[in-house]
Amino acid sequence: MFNETKTSTIFRERLRTLDYYDDADIIIEEQKSDNAKIDKLLKNASKRGNKNGRPDFIIYSRKYPEFVIVVEAKADINKHISETKDNYADYAVDGSLLYASFLAKEFDVLAIGISGEEDNRLRINHYLQLKEDKVAYPIFDDKILTIDEYFEGIKQSNYKFNQDYAKLIAYTKTLNETLHAKKIKESQRALLISGILIALKDHAFKAGYKKHERVGQLVSALYTAIDGQLSTGDIPQRKIDVLTHAFTFIKTNPTLTDKKDGKKFLEDLIDEIDDEINGFMITHKYVDTVSQFYIEFLRYANNDKGLGIVLTPPHITELFAELAEVDKNSVILDNCCGTGGFLISAMKRMLIDAKGDKKKEKDIKSEQLIGIEFQDDIYTLLISNMFIHRDGRTNIYWGDCFEEINDVIERFKPTVGLLNPPYKTKASDIEEFEFILNNLSALESGGTCIAIIPLSCVIEKTVIAENLKNRILEKHTLEAVLSMPEELFHNSKVNTVTCAVIITAQKPHPKGKKTWFAYCRDDGFIKMKNKGRIDAKHTWDDIKESWVTAFRNREVIDGFSLMREVTAKDEWCVEAYMETDYSKITFDDFENTVKKYLMFNMMDMSGAAEGDEDNGSENM
């Protein structure tokens, strides 16, 4: 005869060992909660469907008011988890998931199923269901942790990041509407946000910005804090002058300096930014958030189409850093830096690899991150972005990469190049491959360059394209080309279909060597209203791992990847060589393709009606 009391007793002992019962902030309840919100949510959560839900344990902490742990115990190990996870009354995991589904209307919930009557044979599973999410996902292993460890683990999980990032994107849209209503120029909005984030690094400003009596004092304090923070570090004075000048609009903007409403508006804006953006960046370090705002603010500006802005999503910048095997000893070069997304992702990976070595962390930030940016307004955002992410700004060049590259070669010895070069919008623009060759020229022999460029660059049959590809193969090795997701740049008017080229520097492509080509079109991301293109089903980590593994092993996978010897005359993409299995094509595939084709034609006709614009391009 099984005795569930034994199971609960073992669980209590584990909690006691971890000091749950000794922590005054932790509340441990059984069957029923005195917390009115929890009690209300469990009113209809009965496992039989006819009365109040009564979990074996309900655990929460005053430190984490939006987090709840719910535990269901079963004595019989065979009643731990069912195949369908919906046999709520009879299985431990199933029952905990039922309670979590009700509590998740108001909380982030960790559902724990526990079974067994012997401490050394206990079965434990954890599932996370985030607030307002409909699905629970497995997390942690079979060990009971402290509540702090649970909270930190969830906070740093991909599930929480995806949820928080989706909220951040939604907030960018709301904030854009607010600033638009206040008649703050599109070109100044991202600067204003980054300026406030920089000022909030100043402890005196953060502590006292609400204490000013007049709006003029607040505006002056904001600008002074920005100027003071940017003046720290090893940045030449001429660059500091450029940076501080870019923020002078704060002192003269009519909305910000308005004597009637300016003070309240600015205080509320700083409050929101500290909560919504700073909070995100503190939790999720080294994510290029500034460029996300930059893109949103300029997306509907009159001059945006000419700018040709292309934001490289964070999951792609992190993918490239992993494909390049960036570590603490890497020296990174992005010669088309934009707002610094690649440098930030590389820095994140390098700092993790440094494992807390403070001297190495300092070296990484001061000597191993090199960026070049041409446009002064983007340069200001770039420096601001690197500063917000706690440095890495020392070796950021403001200028033309074709002029600055010699200094980079002399001063540094880059081993990894990561870039998203400007995309051509007119015939006179510099070819994308020229920027890649510029990057490669600075890399050490055997270094890795990864660039994301329009697919047209690798499939064009023009004399120019062939010459550029010849220059690549004559001095460098084409290791791989990955066809990237078609809607990767959905948030830009330059919605170009792209590919990633992976090249080994300073080693001519050997005759007979085959290149790895892959069809990396499906990254698992989906477009959702007001949230953009997000990893809603939390599948990216597994997909990324499969892509990286396949590349490192040069795996040939039916319908995904192949090896092929190519020359400069050939098309450098998997689609040119991969045979289609027509037996797998469904009517839905046909219908979706037709819809995409019709949509493409409509967009093309719309663009033609507006007329061609003779403008340059800038990429993130």
* pLDDT recorded at residue 286: 72
Under the banding of pLDDT at 50, 70 and 90, the label for residue 599 is low
pLDDT beyond 60 at 618: no
Q: What is the DSSP string of 9-73?
A: HHHHHHHHHTTTTT-TTEEEESSS-S-HHHHHHTTT--TTSSS----SEEEEETTEEEEEEEEEE
- What is d(CA 77, CA 90) in angstroms, rounded to the nearest whole number? 11
Please choose, from the candidates 384, 344, 334, the residue with its C-alpha nearest in 3D space to the C-alpha of residue 365.
Answer: 344
Q: Name the pLDDT band for 612 (thresholds 50, 70, 90).
A: very low
- Residue 417: helix, strand or coil by DSSP? strand
3-class SS letters over 270-327: HHHHHHHHHHHHHHCCCCCHHHHHHHHHHCCCCCHHHHCCECCCHHHHHHHHHHCCCC
H helical segments located in 432-579: 432-442, 456-459, 463-475, 540-552
What are the pLDDT digits (tens) for 281-315? 878 877 777 777 777 776 655 444 444 456 788 89
H helices within 156-246, ranges in order? 158-181, 186-199, 203-208, 215-230, 237-246
Q: Which two tokens stand for residue 354?
A: 């440094």
Question: Which pLDDT band holds residue 390 (cuts at 50, 70, 90)?
Answer: low
Q: Please give the C-alpha separations between residue 414 and each of 258, 397, 441, in angstroms, as whole numbers.
A: 49, 15, 10
* pLDDT value for 302: 44
pLDDT digits (tens, 9 = 90+) for 438-494: 999 999 999 999 999 999 999 999 999 999 999 999 999 999 999 999 988 876 666
* Gap between the Cα atoms of 263 and 261, Å rounded: 6
Q: Note the pLDDT of residue 269.
A: 95
- How far apart CA 296 and CA 119 sit, in angstroms, is 54
- Distance in angstroms (rounded) separating the CA atoms of residues 61 and 68: 8
What DSSP character marks residue 578? P
**DSSP assignment of 481-520:** EEEPPTTTTTTSS----EEEEEEETTS---TTPPEEEEE-
Report pLDDT for 306: 40
Give the three-state DSSP class for 223. helix
Q: Which pTM does this prediction carry? A: 0.81
pLDDT at 615: 34
